[in-house]
Structure 1
Amino acid sequence: MAKQDLEIKTQDGSAKARLFRPAAPAKAGIILYMDIFGPRPALDQMAERLAGLGYAVLVPDLFYRYVPYGPFDPKTAFAEEKSKAALLMLSGGTTQGMTIRDGAAFLDALTAAGITGPVGVVGYCMGGARALNAAASYPDRIVAAASFHGGNLASDAADSPHRKAASIKARVYVGVAGVDRSFPPEQSARLAEALRVAEVDHAIENYVGVAHGWCVPDHSVYDAAGAERHWKRLTTLFTETLG
């Protein structure tokens, strides 16, 4: 497996990213939309696992407009006022619209790396909504979109992904933490209705007994059994849509 550091030119500047490639030619490309704690070894580890299945995986820094920042320890960052304020500034200052615009540059980076076919996207935490919005914004390229413990997928906000359901052509999978204030049951119902009305091929699954962040290995709430279940669902989605 090869790992390559990239600088991706965007409309707003230059985003650092890491591209993980399998040993053999890649079956397809995947964009991994980070959680709020930013690019770090835990996300590299997850990208490497996907690359091991034959995909080229791009992990861009969504907070590139604010570098330098961090690093943050997911186990303690929200308990400390200074790091909590920094995280809220970074996530609030990086709007859905910005990440949607960046999506064109991320897809171009895959193309420039020779990955020209259909693409899958997966997002964790704040990346979940961004993955769904990417699918809605680039439907000709993105054929699979997954969100795990994604927040505000069907909120009252104007940029909530459920409002763009009619533009999604990808197959969608949403894995929900059993208790998650950022995605309560009423939002889950609203998202399900929007996707069904739009005739999007989708599944929304509730992971009972796990907390927001359960998939990512450096989170304090990481759940090994729940994480393996997430890998099973994610790899099935990508196998069936990307090969």
Structure 2
Amino acid sequence: MAKQDLRIKTRDGVAKAGLFRSAKTSPTKSGVILYQDAFGPRPALDGMAERLAGEGYAVLVPDLFYRNAPYGPFDAKTAFTEENSKAALMALVTGTTQQMTISDGEAFLDALAGEGVRGLIGTVGYCMGGARALNAAAAYPDRIRAAASFHGGNLASDAADSPHRKAASIKARIYVGMAGVDRSFPPEQSTRLAEALRNAEVDHAIENYVGMAHGWCVPDHSVYDQAGAERHWQRLITLFAETLG
């Protein structure tokens, strides 16, 4: 497995990113953009990108917080329980708006193309990255074929940048895996998202992972659940196999 360190020029600066490919990844293979959770790029996300790259995709993991670099690192198990790190994290999350990440998406897609990735593109996001993966699909419908969110928050909130408001622009197949109990994505939002996607005739599935807590997919998270994480991998790999080839 090879990791290539990239520096991607965006409208607002330069974002660091990791590009992961396996020996069996062909030059024209499909690509995936992995949108981080609140703790930023780190070894745990690298490991997830490597596993996805093992399926034959070129996987890009960009630093969404690059405008505020340097920052961290953060311990995913304790960062939200310590006041200083919690305040720093919240400043990064709230200071990196959906519109910023949507704008960055064009540079991320172009970076994949510049590295010879000519196939179809998928997105996947965790926690704060979930909404960004869906918003990317809405913003770049002719380039993104599949988008997945796992324990993504505020996917159908009252905010103007909530992904459900952009359902009519989505051409990708959508998969949403939600934690059994998640204050950031309560049942009323799930219902609202399902209605928006159905009305827009978007091919989608929304699945409730009963007993899982917000963050269950990411191995360095305090609520990581191995069985639930494996289920998430099965769904994600199937989604990309069926849509990206």
Give deviations 1:118-161, integer Å, cap 9, x for gaps: 10000000000000000000000100000000000000000000
> Partner residue of 2:227?
225
Q: Residue type of the partner of 2:21?
A: R
Q: Residue type of the partner of 2:60?
A: L
Distance in structure 2 (CA, Å) of the matches to 1:187 and 1:156: 9
**Offset, 1:22:** 1.7
> Partner residue of 1:30?
32
3-state secondary structure, aligned to 2:218: coil
Distance in structure 1 (CA, Å) of the matches to 2:60 and 2:76: 21
3-state secondary structure, aligned to 2:206: strand
> Partner residue of 1:18?
18
> Partner residue of 1:49?
51
**Offset, 1:93:** 0.3
TM-score of the superposed pair, with normalisation by structure 2? 0.98
Matching residue within 114, 117, 121 for 1:115 = 117
> Partner residue of 1:183?
185
In structure 2, list runs of 5 or more residues that go unmatched: none
**Offset, 1:117:** 2.3
Matching residue within 204, 209, 212 for 1:210 = 212
Distance in structure 2 (CA, Å) of the matches to 1:241 and 1:23: 22
Distance in structure 1 (CA, Å) of the matches to 2:108 and 2:182: 29
Distance in structure 2 (CA, Å) of the matches to 1:190 and 1:100: 22
**Offset, 1:2:** 1.4
Give deviations 1:171-221, integer Å, cap 9, x for gaps: 000000000000000000000000000000000000000100000000000
> Partner residue of 1:100?
102
> Partner residue of 1:130?
132
Q: Which runs of 4+ in 1 moved over 2 A?
A: none
> Partner residue of 1:7?
7
Matching residue within 71, 74, 77 for 2:76 = 74
> Partner residue of 2:91?
89
Distance in structure 1 (CA, Å) of the matches to 2:132 and 2:9: 19
Q: What is the total number of aligned residue pairs between the two structures?
A: 243
Distance in structure 2 (CA, Å) of the matches to 1:53 and 1:172: 19
Distance in structure 2 (CA, Å) of the matches to 1:217 and 1:44: 11
Percent identical among aligned pairs is 81
TM-score of the superposed pair, with normalisation by structure 1? 0.99
Distance in structure 1 (CA, Å) of the matches to 2:218 and 2:236: 14
> Partner residue of 1:194?
196
Distance in structure 2 (CA, Å) of the matches to 1:52 and 1:200: 29
Q: Let me know the Cα RMSD of the aligned residues.
A: 0.6
Distance in structure 1 (CA, Å) of the matches to 2:158 and 2:164: 10
Give deviations 1:1-58, integer Å, cap 9, x for gaps: 2110000000000000000012121531000000000000000000000011100000
| 8 Å CA contact 1:117, 1:141 repeated in 2 | no
3-state secondary structure, aligned to 1:217: coil
> Partner residue of 2:166?
164
